[in-house]
Amino acid sequence: MRRRRVNRVATISMHTSPLDQPGTGDAGGMNVYIVESAKRLAQLGVEVEIFTRQTGRDLPPVVELAPGVSVRHVTAGPYEELDRADMPAQLCAFLSGVLRTEAMYEPGRYDVIHSHYWLSGQVGWLAKERWGVPLVHTMHTMAKVKNLLLAKGDRPEPQARVLGEEQVVEVADRLVANTADEALELRELYCAPEDRVAVVNPGVNLTVFQPASQGAARHRLGLPQNAHVLLFVGRIQPLKAPDVLLRAAARMLIEEPSLRERLVVACVGGPSGNGLARPDVLVDLATELGISDVVRLVPPAPQHELADWYRAADVTVVPSYNESFGLVALESQACGTPVAAAAVGGLRTAVRDGVSGVLVDSHDPQDWASVLNRFVTSPRWRDGLSSGARAHAAAFGWSATAARLMEVYAGAVANASLRVAV
Protein backbone atom coordinates (compact mmCIF):
# COMPACT_ATOMS: atom_id res chain seq x y z
CA MET A 1 0.00 0.00 0.00
CA ARG A 2 1.35 3.40 -0.97
CA ARG A 3 1.74 5.68 2.03
CA ARG A 4 0.19 9.13 1.97
CA ARG A 5 2.69 11.92 2.38
CA VAL A 6 2.65 13.86 5.64
CA ASN A 7 2.57 17.58 4.80
CA ARG A 8 1.60 19.31 8.04
CA VAL A 9 2.06 18.33 11.69
CA ALA A 10 0.29 19.86 14.68
CA THR A 11 2.83 19.72 17.51
CA ILE A 12 1.43 20.27 21.00
CA SER A 13 3.62 21.54 23.84
CA MET A 14 1.15 22.98 26.32
CA HIS A 15 3.19 23.60 29.45
CA THR A 16 6.43 24.95 27.99
CA SER A 17 7.18 27.00 24.92
CA PRO A 18 9.87 26.14 22.38
CA LEU A 19 10.75 29.84 22.49
CA ASP A 20 11.82 29.61 26.16
CA GLN A 21 15.49 29.47 27.14
CA PRO A 22 16.34 25.88 28.18
CA GLY A 23 17.80 25.47 31.64
CA THR A 24 15.25 27.17 33.87
CA GLY A 25 11.57 26.94 34.71
CA ASP A 26 10.06 24.05 32.78
CA ALA A 27 12.31 24.55 29.76
CA GLY A 28 14.86 21.82 29.18
CA GLY A 29 15.72 18.98 26.86
CA MET A 30 12.13 18.66 25.64
CA ASN A 31 12.23 22.24 24.34
CA VAL A 32 15.45 21.52 22.46
CA TYR A 33 13.92 18.32 21.05
CA ILE A 34 10.82 20.11 19.75
CA VAL A 35 12.76 23.01 18.20
CA GLU A 36 15.49 20.96 16.54
CA SER A 37 13.26 18.18 15.23
CA ALA A 38 10.75 20.73 13.88
CA LYS A 39 13.48 22.57 11.98
CA ARG A 40 14.72 19.34 10.40
CA LEU A 41 11.18 18.23 9.54
CA ALA A 42 10.66 21.57 7.79
CA GLN A 43 13.81 20.93 5.79
CA LEU A 44 12.17 17.70 4.62
CA GLY A 45 9.20 19.70 3.36
CA VAL A 46 6.87 19.21 6.34
CA GLU A 47 5.16 22.27 7.81
CA VAL A 48 5.15 22.20 11.61
CA GLU A 49 2.76 24.28 13.74
CA ILE A 50 3.58 24.21 17.45
CA PHE A 51 0.76 25.00 19.91
CA THR A 52 1.83 26.32 23.32
CA ARG A 53 0.21 28.27 26.14
CA GLN A 54 0.52 32.06 25.96
CA THR A 55 2.44 33.36 28.99
CA GLY A 56 2.62 37.07 28.10
CA ARG A 57 -0.07 39.52 27.04
CA ASP A 58 2.22 41.10 24.44
CA LEU A 59 3.17 37.85 22.69
CA PRO A 60 1.93 37.76 19.09
CA PRO A 61 -0.59 35.03 18.19
CA VAL A 62 1.88 33.41 15.79
CA VAL A 63 5.69 33.52 15.73
CA GLU A 64 7.83 32.10 12.93
CA LEU A 65 10.48 29.99 14.66
CA ALA A 66 12.16 29.01 11.38
CA PRO A 67 11.10 28.65 7.75
CA GLY A 68 8.26 26.15 7.80
CA VAL A 69 7.96 26.18 11.61
CA SER A 70 5.50 28.41 13.47
CA VAL A 71 4.59 28.75 17.14
CA ARG A 72 0.93 29.44 17.93
CA HIS A 73 0.20 31.02 21.31
CA VAL A 74 -3.05 29.78 22.84
CA THR A 75 -4.77 31.77 25.58
CA ALA A 76 -5.41 29.47 28.54
CA GLY A 77 -5.34 30.92 32.04
CA PRO A 78 -3.36 33.92 33.24
CA TYR A 79 -0.61 35.50 31.16
CA GLU A 80 2.17 34.19 33.36
CA GLU A 81 4.19 31.07 34.04
CA LEU A 82 2.17 28.44 35.89
CA ASP A 83 3.30 25.58 38.04
CA ARG A 84 2.69 22.27 36.28
CA ALA A 85 0.37 21.31 39.14
CA ASP A 86 -1.94 24.13 38.03
CA MET A 87 -1.88 23.18 34.34
CA PRO A 88 -4.65 20.54 34.34
CA ALA A 89 -7.14 23.27 35.24
CA GLN A 90 -6.32 24.96 31.91
CA LEU A 91 -6.67 21.87 29.72
CA CYS A 92 -10.20 22.74 28.54
CA ALA A 93 -9.28 26.33 27.67
CA PHE A 94 -6.14 25.24 25.85
CA LEU A 95 -7.97 22.52 23.92
CA SER A 96 -10.63 25.02 22.91
CA GLY A 97 -7.98 27.33 21.49
CA VAL A 98 -6.34 24.51 19.54
CA LEU A 99 -9.66 23.37 18.05
CA ARG A 100 -10.65 26.94 17.13
CA THR A 101 -7.42 27.35 15.18
CA GLU A 102 -8.08 24.25 13.07
CA ALA A 103 -11.69 25.34 12.52
CA MET A 104 -10.50 28.50 10.74
CA TYR A 105 -9.23 26.38 7.84
CA GLU A 106 -10.62 23.84 5.44
CA PRO A 107 -11.03 20.34 6.94
CA GLY A 108 -7.94 18.16 6.81
CA ARG A 109 -5.41 20.88 7.64
CA TYR A 110 -3.28 18.55 9.77
CA ASP A 111 -2.11 15.07 8.79
CA VAL A 112 -0.91 14.03 12.22
CA ILE A 113 -0.70 15.32 15.80
CA HIS A 114 2.53 14.99 17.79
CA SER A 115 2.09 15.72 21.49
CA HIS A 116 4.89 16.11 24.03
CA TYR A 117 4.46 15.31 27.75
CA TRP A 118 1.26 13.94 29.23
CA LEU A 119 -0.63 17.25 29.51
CA SER A 120 -0.23 17.81 25.78
CA GLY A 121 -1.20 14.19 25.23
CA GLN A 122 -4.56 14.85 26.86
CA VAL A 123 -5.15 17.70 24.41
CA GLY A 124 -3.90 15.61 21.51
CA TRP A 125 -6.28 12.79 22.45
CA LEU A 126 -9.37 15.00 22.06
CA ALA A 127 -8.04 16.81 18.98
CA LYS A 128 -7.40 13.42 17.36
CA GLU A 129 -11.03 12.44 17.89
CA ARG A 130 -12.32 15.74 16.50
CA TRP A 131 -10.02 15.94 13.48
CA GLY A 132 -9.91 12.24 12.62
CA VAL A 133 -6.12 12.14 12.40
CA PRO A 134 -3.59 9.90 14.21
CA LEU A 135 -1.91 10.90 17.47
CA VAL A 136 1.82 10.37 17.97
CA HIS A 137 2.99 10.98 21.54
CA THR A 138 6.37 11.37 23.23
CA MET A 139 6.41 11.06 27.02
CA HIS A 140 9.84 12.64 27.70
CA THR A 141 9.42 11.67 31.35
CA MET A 142 7.06 9.19 32.99
CA ALA A 143 5.51 9.43 36.44
CA LYS A 144 5.87 5.74 37.24
CA VAL A 145 9.57 5.81 36.36
CA LYS A 146 10.22 9.01 38.33
CA ASN A 147 8.42 7.63 41.38
CA LEU A 148 10.61 4.53 41.31
CA LEU A 149 13.77 6.67 41.29
CA LEU A 150 12.98 9.60 43.57
CA ALA A 151 15.76 11.79 44.85
CA LYS A 152 15.96 12.34 48.59
CA GLY A 153 13.44 15.01 49.56
CA ASP A 154 11.75 14.99 46.17
CA ARG A 155 7.96 14.75 45.90
CA PRO A 156 6.38 11.81 44.08
CA GLU A 157 4.35 12.53 40.97
CA PRO A 158 0.60 12.63 41.68
CA GLN A 159 -1.80 9.84 40.82
CA ALA A 160 -3.66 12.20 38.48
CA ARG A 161 -0.57 12.30 36.25
CA VAL A 162 -0.21 8.51 36.35
CA LEU A 163 -3.82 8.10 35.21
CA GLY A 164 -3.40 10.79 32.56
CA GLU A 165 -0.36 9.03 31.14
CA GLU A 166 -2.15 5.68 31.11
CA GLN A 167 -4.99 7.24 29.12
CA VAL A 168 -2.62 8.76 26.58
CA VAL A 169 -0.80 5.44 26.14
CA GLU A 170 -4.13 3.73 25.51
CA VAL A 171 -5.31 6.14 22.79
CA ALA A 172 -2.09 7.10 21.00
CA ASP A 173 -1.56 5.59 17.55
CA ARG A 174 2.21 5.67 18.08
CA LEU A 175 4.37 6.19 21.16
CA VAL A 176 7.85 7.55 20.51
CA ALA A 177 10.49 6.35 22.98
CA ASN A 178 13.89 8.01 23.13
CA THR A 179 15.72 4.73 23.79
CA ALA A 180 15.12 0.98 23.86
CA ASP A 181 15.11 1.21 27.68
CA GLU A 182 12.27 3.73 27.58
CA ALA A 183 10.36 1.54 25.13
CA LEU A 184 10.67 -1.32 27.61
CA GLU A 185 9.37 0.91 30.43
CA LEU A 186 6.37 1.86 28.30
CA ARG A 187 5.57 -1.79 27.68
CA GLU A 188 6.19 -3.06 31.20
CA LEU A 189 4.90 -0.17 33.32
CA TYR A 190 2.13 1.13 31.04
CA CYS A 191 1.20 -2.03 29.10
CA ALA A 192 1.85 -0.26 25.79
CA PRO A 193 1.41 -2.62 22.80
CA GLU A 194 4.79 -3.38 21.28
CA ASP A 195 3.63 -2.61 17.73
CA ARG A 196 2.71 0.95 18.74
CA VAL A 197 6.06 1.83 20.35
CA ALA A 198 8.81 3.24 18.12
CA VAL A 199 12.35 4.06 19.25
CA VAL A 200 13.64 7.38 17.91
CA ASN A 201 16.91 8.63 19.41
CA PRO A 202 17.10 12.39 19.95
CA GLY A 203 20.00 14.18 18.29
CA VAL A 204 22.47 16.97 18.83
CA ASN A 205 23.18 20.09 16.80
CA LEU A 206 26.58 19.10 15.42
CA THR A 207 27.06 22.56 13.90
CA VAL A 208 26.79 24.42 17.21
CA PHE A 209 28.23 21.73 19.46
CA GLN A 210 31.61 20.83 18.02
CA PRO A 211 35.19 20.72 19.31
CA ALA A 212 37.20 23.95 19.53
CA SER A 213 40.04 25.36 21.61
CA GLN A 214 39.64 24.76 25.32
CA GLY A 215 41.98 27.65 26.08
CA ALA A 216 39.98 30.09 23.96
CA ALA A 217 36.73 28.98 25.58
CA ARG A 218 38.20 29.46 29.05
CA HIS A 219 39.44 32.91 28.09
CA ARG A 220 35.98 33.95 26.89
CA LEU A 221 34.37 32.63 30.09
CA GLY A 222 36.95 34.15 32.43
CA LEU A 223 38.26 30.80 33.66
CA PRO A 224 41.92 30.17 34.58
CA GLN A 225 43.83 28.31 31.89
CA ASN A 226 45.23 25.79 34.40
CA ALA A 227 41.91 25.11 36.14
CA HIS A 228 40.34 21.70 36.70
CA VAL A 229 36.76 22.42 35.58
CA LEU A 230 33.91 20.16 36.65
CA LEU A 231 30.72 21.20 34.83
CA PHE A 232 27.01 20.69 35.56
CA VAL A 233 24.44 21.89 33.03
CA GLY A 234 20.72 21.67 33.68
CA ARG A 235 17.80 22.75 35.76
CA ILE A 236 18.46 23.06 39.48
CA GLN A 237 16.10 20.53 41.04
CA PRO A 238 16.42 17.34 43.11
CA LEU A 239 15.88 15.07 40.08
CA LYS A 240 19.01 16.46 38.37
CA ALA A 241 21.08 16.02 41.57
CA PRO A 242 23.58 18.89 41.25
CA ASP A 243 24.13 18.48 45.00
CA VAL A 244 25.93 15.19 44.26
CA LEU A 245 28.55 17.13 42.30
CA LEU A 246 29.07 19.68 45.08
CA ARG A 247 29.33 16.99 47.75
CA ALA A 248 31.78 15.02 45.59
CA ALA A 249 33.91 18.15 45.07
CA ALA A 250 33.99 18.71 48.84
CA ARG A 251 35.26 15.14 49.32
CA MET A 252 37.94 15.71 46.68
CA LEU A 253 39.18 18.79 48.52
CA ILE A 254 39.28 16.95 51.84
CA GLU A 255 41.39 14.21 50.26
CA GLU A 256 43.65 16.63 48.36
CA PRO A 257 43.56 20.17 49.84
CA SER A 258 46.04 21.53 47.27
CA LEU A 259 43.41 20.95 44.57
CA ARG A 260 41.54 24.01 45.88
CA GLU A 261 43.93 26.33 44.05
CA ARG A 262 42.78 25.04 40.65
CA LEU A 263 39.34 23.46 41.08
CA VAL A 264 36.29 25.14 39.51
CA VAL A 265 32.84 23.63 39.95
CA ALA A 266 30.58 25.36 37.41
CA CYS A 267 26.79 24.93 37.47
CA VAL A 268 24.97 26.40 34.48
CA GLY A 269 21.19 26.52 34.89
CA GLY A 270 18.32 27.86 36.96
CA PRO A 271 15.83 26.53 39.53
CA SER A 272 12.95 24.45 38.23
CA GLY A 273 10.14 22.22 39.45
CA ASN A 274 10.57 21.26 43.10
CA GLY A 275 13.78 23.30 43.08
CA LEU A 276 11.76 26.54 42.95
CA ALA A 277 10.94 26.09 46.63
CA ARG A 278 14.66 26.59 47.44
CA PRO A 279 16.15 28.74 44.68
CA ASP A 280 19.37 29.30 46.67
CA VAL A 281 19.90 25.65 47.53
CA LEU A 282 23.32 25.42 45.81
CA VAL A 283 24.53 28.66 47.38
CA ASP A 284 23.55 27.36 50.80
CA LEU A 285 25.04 23.93 50.17
CA ALA A 286 28.34 25.37 48.94
CA THR A 287 28.54 27.46 52.12
CA GLU A 288 27.69 24.48 54.30
CA LEU A 289 30.38 22.37 52.60
CA GLY A 290 32.97 25.15 52.75
CA ILE A 291 33.51 25.23 48.98
CA SER A 292 31.90 28.56 48.01
CA ASP A 293 35.28 29.74 46.72
CA VAL A 294 35.41 27.02 44.02
CA VAL A 295 31.74 26.99 43.02
CA ARG A 296 30.59 29.19 40.15
CA LEU A 297 26.83 29.48 39.55
CA VAL A 298 25.86 30.64 36.07
CA PRO A 299 22.36 31.41 34.71
CA PRO A 300 21.02 29.46 31.71
CA ALA A 301 23.07 30.22 28.61
CA PRO A 302 22.24 30.34 24.89
CA GLN A 303 23.62 27.49 22.80
CA HIS A 304 26.76 29.22 21.52
CA GLU A 305 27.80 30.14 25.07
CA LEU A 306 26.80 26.73 26.39
CA ALA A 307 29.10 25.15 23.81
CA ASP A 308 31.97 27.19 25.27
CA TRP A 309 31.20 25.86 28.76
CA TYR A 310 31.41 22.30 27.46
CA ARG A 311 34.70 23.01 25.68
CA ALA A 312 36.13 24.69 28.77
CA ALA A 313 35.36 21.74 31.05
CA ASP A 314 37.49 18.71 31.82
CA VAL A 315 34.33 16.67 32.37
CA THR A 316 30.58 17.29 32.29
CA VAL A 317 28.82 15.72 35.28
CA VAL A 318 25.27 14.36 34.88
CA PRO A 319 24.29 12.75 38.21
CA SER A 320 20.51 12.70 37.56
CA TYR A 321 18.25 10.17 39.26
CA ASN A 322 16.53 9.64 35.94
CA GLU A 323 16.80 10.91 32.36
CA SER A 324 14.68 9.84 29.40
CA PHE A 325 17.75 10.51 27.26
CA GLY A 326 20.20 13.16 28.45
CA LEU A 327 20.80 15.79 25.76
CA VAL A 328 23.36 17.55 27.96
CA ALA A 329 25.56 14.46 27.84
CA LEU A 330 25.34 14.33 24.06
CA GLU A 331 26.05 18.06 23.62
CA SER A 332 29.12 17.81 25.83
CA GLN A 333 30.49 14.82 23.95
CA ALA A 334 29.91 16.56 20.61
CA CYS A 335 32.22 19.32 21.89
CA GLY A 336 34.86 16.70 22.73
CA THR A 337 34.31 16.76 26.49
CA PRO A 338 33.75 13.37 28.15
CA VAL A 339 30.92 12.81 30.58
CA ALA A 340 30.54 11.27 34.02
CA ALA A 341 26.87 10.26 34.22
CA ALA A 342 24.60 8.24 36.44
CA ALA A 343 23.89 4.81 34.98
CA VAL A 344 20.14 5.46 34.66
CA GLY A 345 17.56 5.71 31.90
CA GLY A 346 18.63 7.12 28.57
CA LEU A 347 22.07 8.07 29.87
CA ARG A 348 23.06 4.47 29.28
CA THR A 349 22.51 5.17 25.57
CA ALA A 350 23.73 8.76 25.48
CA VAL A 351 27.08 7.82 27.09
CA ARG A 352 29.21 4.86 26.00
CA ASP A 353 30.77 3.66 29.21
CA GLY A 354 34.56 3.56 29.08
CA VAL A 355 34.64 5.00 25.57
CA SER A 356 32.99 8.45 25.65
CA GLY A 357 32.70 8.80 29.39
CA VAL A 358 31.97 6.93 32.60
CA LEU A 359 28.67 5.62 33.93
CA VAL A 360 28.41 5.66 37.72
CA ASP A 361 26.05 3.13 39.29
CA SER A 362 25.57 5.13 42.47
CA HIS A 363 24.64 8.53 43.86
CA ASP A 364 27.12 8.29 46.73
CA PRO A 365 29.30 11.44 46.67
CA GLN A 366 32.37 9.36 47.60
CA ASP A 367 31.94 7.19 44.52
CA TRP A 368 31.60 10.30 42.36
CA ALA A 369 34.64 11.88 44.01
CA SER A 370 36.71 8.85 43.03
CA VAL A 371 35.55 9.02 39.41
CA LEU A 372 36.00 12.79 39.10
CA ASN A 373 39.41 12.66 40.71
CA ARG A 374 40.57 10.40 37.88
CA PHE A 375 39.47 13.03 35.34
CA VAL A 376 41.64 15.53 37.20
CA THR A 377 44.72 13.34 37.71
CA SER A 378 44.80 11.25 34.51
CA PRO A 379 44.97 13.61 31.53
CA ARG A 380 45.99 10.89 29.01
CA TRP A 381 43.03 8.73 30.00
CA ARG A 382 40.76 11.79 29.79
CA ASP A 383 42.11 12.63 26.32
CA GLY A 384 41.26 9.12 25.15
CA LEU A 385 37.69 9.55 26.36
CA SER A 386 37.57 12.91 24.61
CA SER A 387 38.27 11.25 21.26
CA GLY A 388 35.65 8.61 22.00
CA ALA A 389 33.15 11.30 22.98
CA ARG A 390 33.46 13.07 19.63
CA ALA A 391 33.04 9.84 17.69
CA HIS A 392 30.07 8.70 19.76
CA ALA A 393 28.17 11.99 19.46
CA ALA A 394 28.75 12.16 15.70
CA ALA A 395 26.29 9.29 15.27
CA PHE A 396 23.43 11.37 16.73
CA GLY A 397 22.24 14.12 14.38
CA TRP A 398 18.84 15.80 14.37
CA SER A 399 18.43 15.07 10.66
CA ALA A 400 18.41 11.35 11.45
CA THR A 401 15.85 11.99 14.21
CA ALA A 402 13.58 13.85 11.80
CA ALA A 403 13.87 11.15 9.13
CA ARG A 404 12.89 8.51 11.68
CA LEU A 405 9.96 10.64 12.88
CA MET A 406 8.76 10.89 9.30
CA GLU A 407 8.65 7.09 9.17
CA VAL A 408 6.65 7.01 12.40
CA TYR A 409 4.20 9.63 11.14
CA ALA A 410 3.73 7.84 7.82
CA GLY A 411 3.11 4.54 9.57
CA ALA A 412 0.53 6.10 11.89
CA VAL A 413 -1.27 7.74 8.96
CA ALA A 414 -1.26 4.51 6.94
CA ASN A 415 -2.70 2.50 9.84
CA ALA A 416 -5.38 5.11 10.43
CA SER A 417 -6.34 4.95 6.74
CA LEU A 418 -6.57 1.15 6.92
CA ARG A 419 -8.93 1.36 9.92
CA VAL A 420 -11.17 3.80 8.05
CA ALA A 421 -11.18 1.55 4.97
CA VAL A 422 -12.19 -1.47 7.06
CATH topology match: 8-203+398-421 vs 214-395:
yes
In sequence order, the β-bridge partners of residue 49 are 10, 70
pLDDT greater than 80 at residue 413: yes
Q: Does domain 8-203+398-421 have CATH number 3.40.50.2000?
A: yes
Higher pLDDT, 356 or 276: 356
| Sequential DSSP letters for 80-127 | S---GGGGGGGHHHHHHHHHHHHHTS-TT--SEEEEEHHHHHHHHHHH
Q: Are 161 and 91 contacting, i.e. CB atoms less than 8 angstroms apart?
A: no
> In Å, how far are 205, 228, 338 from 388, measured between CA atoms?
18, 20, 8
How do residues 307-340 score in pLDDT, each as one tens digit? 999 999 999 999 999 998 899 999 999 999 999 9
Looking at residue 273, its pLDDT comes to: 64
Nearest Cα to Cα of residue 349 among 321, 323, 371, 381: 323
Output the 3-class SS for 56-90.
CCCCCCEEEEECCEEEEEECCCCCCCCCHHHHHHH
65 pLDDT tier (thresholds 50, 70, 90)? very high
Handedness of CA 150, 152, 299, 332 (dihedral sign): negative
Q: What burial letters (b/e) apply to 90-124, b meaning 16+ CB within 10 Å?
A: bbeebbebbeebbeeeeeebbbbbbbbbbbbbbbb
Q: Give the residue numbers of the binding site for Mg(2+).
A: 310-311, 313, 337
Whole-number percent of the chain with pLDDT over 70: 96
Give the C-alpha separation, 275 to 110, whole Å: 38
pLDDT average, residue stretch 48-70: 95
In this prediction, residue 422 carries a pLDDT of: 42
The answer to whether residues 100 and 65 touch, using CB atoms and an 8 Å cutoff, is: no
Task: Provide the annotated binding site for UDP-N-acetyl-alpha-D-glucosamine.
Answer: 21-22, 29, 235, 240, 323, 331
For helices 303-312 and 327-334, give the axis angle rounded to 10 degrees.
Answer: 70
Burial class, 302, CB count within 10 angstroms (exposed 0-12 / middle 13-18 / buried 19+)? exposed
In this predicted model, what pLDDT tens digit does every residue of 86-105 receive, in sequence order?
899 999 999 999 999 999 99
| pLDDT at residue 138, rounded to an integer | 98
Q: Which residues contact 379 (CB under 8 A, 6 or more apart)?
A: none
Q: Averaged over 179-188, what is the pLDDT?
A: 96
Annotated binding site for 1D-myo-inositol 3-phosphate: 15, 26-31, 84, 117, 141, 161
Res. 149: pLDDT tops 90: no
**Would you list which residues are annotated within the binding site?**
15, 21-22, 26-31, 84, 117, 141, 161, 235, 240, 310-311, 313, 323, 331, 337
Q: Give the number of other CB atoms < 10 A from CB of residue 276.
A: 15
Q: Which amino acid is at 156?
A: P
Question: What kind and span of H or E run contains 38?
Answer: helix 29-43
Q: What CATH number was assigned to the domain covering residues 214-395?
A: 3.40.50.2000
| Residue 81: predicted pLDDT | 83
As beta bridge partners, residue 341 has 318, 359
pLDDT cut 90: percent of the chain above it: 85
pLDDT in tens, 100-144: 999 999 999 999 999 999 999 999 999 999 999 999 999 999 999
**Spatial distance between the Cα atoms of 351 and 396, rounded to a whole number of angstroms:** 12
Q: What is the structure's pLDDT at 82? A: 84
Mean pLDDT on 246-266:
97
Domain map of the chain by residue range? 8-203+398-421, 214-395
| DSSP category for residue 157 | P
pLDDT for the residue 389 = 98
Q: How far is CA 410 from the centre of its chain?
A: 25
Question: What was the pLDDT predicted at 421?
Answer: 46
CA pair distance 273, 223, nearest whole angstrom? 30
**pLDDT at position 24:** 65
Task: Concatenate the DSSP letters of all residues of 192-257 into one string.
Answer: --GGGEEE----B-TTTS----HHHHHHHHT--TT-EEEEEES-BSGGG-HHHHHHHHHHHHHH-G
Contacts of 133 (CB under 8 A, 6+ apart): 110, 111, 112, 113, 413, 416
- Closest by Cα among 298, 239, 241 to 265: 298
